[in-house]
Structure 1
Amino acid sequence: MSWVAKPLAGLLIDITGVLYESGVGGGWAIPGSCAAIERLRAAGYGLKFCTNESRITRKHLVELLQTHGFNLTINEVFAPPPACVTYLKEKNLRPFLLVHPSALSEYSDVDCSNPNCVVVGDACEVFTYENMNKAFRVLIHGDQPVLISLGQGKYYKEDGELALDVGAFSVALEHATGVKPYVIGKPSSVYYKAALKELGVAPEMALMIGDDLVNDVGGAQSCGMRGVLVRSGKYRESDEHHETVHPDGIVDNLAHFTDILLKHQPRAHLV
């Protein structure tokens, strides 16, 4: 239990695979996760819900979670699309958007004419050969091509089955063009530092809990946080024997995590 040996003030919590399981029709809440969130709030822990979800807007994601009984607000959800829009405007970039149609409204005030960069999100069925080829041509013909990847996950779990995630497609474009993706989302240190800044908690006083060993746990650890892996979501037994990433703790689910944390630290160590 080394992860509870030192004080904690804030928690970064993954959404899909930790709060709920994704699926057709909206998925389902993981047993005990709703109550766990309320227990953590009552104990005074600062919470930020960190996700690489780029298929739907934060508003729709919060509404979905509310149907499962979660009491979350949009400001508590930290997701790649808003950060991506800020980056595009700062750099005067005009994107070819290879994203899911349900998420297009996030980019409504971005200039997409005559694209000089590519943004790759979890586009699902939009990942056609035609669209991948359009993205390829923007990059291969650009003078200073920019490839933005909204996360770097290899796969996620939906309806009990693993499915290819955005990282597989951004790496394919990198392989074809030689353009290395700029990652906005987990496991990027920029993403984690921005989330911690919003939460107002120093890395050594924070912990990330997620079902992705590399992007959740490894990404957090590289920024000086603790990382705990759950055995829900896309967890696989082989994650416990990874060559390079070793979680600070492994728990069955968020409810199990909360039981352990509140047993050892009944109240957050606020500064």
Structure 2
Amino acid sequence: MAENVWWRDVKGILLDITGVLYEPGENGGSVVQGSLNAVKRLKEAGIPVRFCTNETSCTKKQFVNQLKSYGFDIELSKIFSPIPAVCAILKKRNLRPFLFVSPNALDDFEGIDTNDPNCIVVGDCNHDFSYKNMNKAFQLLKSLPNPILFSLGRGKYYQDNGKLLLDVGPYMKALEYACDITAEVVGKPSTDFFQAALNDLNVPANKVVMIGDDIVNDIGGAQAVGMKGVLVSTGKYRPEDKYHSTVKADGYSTNLSEAVDLILSNY
């Protein structure tokens, strides 16, 4: 679809959060200019919106409370994140994980049996991505007759306080390489993850736009299930993203507010 018409006939929207609604940083971060009002205008217009995030550094409830502290009116049920999704998978397959995740996120794994682990779940660990912890994960995987690695996203990097920092993807890749296995990705850009959000919207994929700052995980992931993807120039966005070798956005916008202006002008 040509870039200049992506906003036509939009009936549903998926929004990334980090880098699109707010920028993480010192003292809790800051709201991206215009995003607070943009979300409010979408709600007032009656356009169904869901929020897709790979945030796993805290519980889903803590994350929603943080967003509310900025002024966003977002319901817990409207946010799709990896931990509830992976918990459903673990229960269905009777798996007992070693949780290589942030201590702040552990409450969201309540009810999951972690005794005698037979798989690993790796998520946002920040400073806990030490050699000691990576080696422990490696040793467990190598000890299993059928090693299973779940990764809560596969992002290469994210932006915090204006600086790019390594995301979970490089650590996932290290464990894949060392153990000769392929991780099961839960979260963006997984097609199952995007399909779940799309099903909840109950809108045809070709009428839905994903707005994000990650060319591969946001835009590519959404396009893989038939949605359009719009890349904003906030958060982790870099000018070279427009020339990515495999993923081309359907449209580009300075920020969420500008994208919403175009959508509402044709809604």
What does 1:158-177 align with in structure 2 at a 5 Å threshold?
A: 158-177=160-179
Q: Which of 97, 100, 103 lines up with 2:102 in the alignment?
A: 100
TM-score by length of 2: 0.97
Q: CA RMSD in A?
A: 0.8
Q: Which of 118, 121, 125 lines up with 1:119 in the alignment?
A: 121
Distance 2:266 2:191 in 1: 29
**Kept after mapping to 1: 8 A contact 2:10/2:263:** no
Matched residue SS, 2:95: coil
Matched residue SS, 2:25: coil
Matched residue SS, 2:120: strand
Q: Where does residue 250 of structure 2 map in the other structure?
A: 248
Q: Where does residue 5 of structure 2 map in the other structure?
A: 2
Q: Where does residue 22 of structure 1 map in the other structure?
A: 24
Q: Where does residue 87 of structure 1 map in the other structure?
A: 89
Gaps of 5+ in 2: none
Which of structure 1's runs of 4+ aligned residues deviate more than 2 A?
none
Distance 1:172 1:2 in 2: 41
**Kept after mapping to 1: 8 A contact 2:18/2:53:** yes
Q: Where does residue 182 of structure 1 map in the other structure?
A: 184
Kindly state the Cα deviation for residue 245 of structure 1 after the two structures are TM-superposed: 0.8
**Kept after mapping to 2: 8 A contact 1:9/1:46:** yes
Distance 1:185 1:230 in 2: 20
Distance 2:204 2:179 in 1: 38
Distance 1:134 1:117 in 2: 12
**Kept after mapping to 2: 8 A contact 1:139/1:179:** no
Q: Aligned residue pairs: how many? A: 264
Q: Where does residue 268 of structure 1 map in the other structure?
A: none
Q: Which of 69, 72, 78 lines up with 1:70 in the alignment?
A: 72
Kindly state the Cα deviation for residue 125 of structure 1 after the two structures are TM-superposed: 1.1
Gaps of 5+ in 1: 266-271
Distance 2:101 2:26 in 1: 19
Kindly state the Cα deviation for residue 2 of structure 1 after the two structures are TM-superposed: 2.4
Matched residue SS, 2:10: coil
- Using the aligned pairs only, state the percent identity: 48
Q: Where does residue 193 of structure 1 map in the other structure?
A: 195
Kindly state the Cα deviation for residue 264 of structure 1 after the two structures are TM-superposed: 2.1
Q: Where does residue 230 of structure 1 map in the other structure?
A: 232
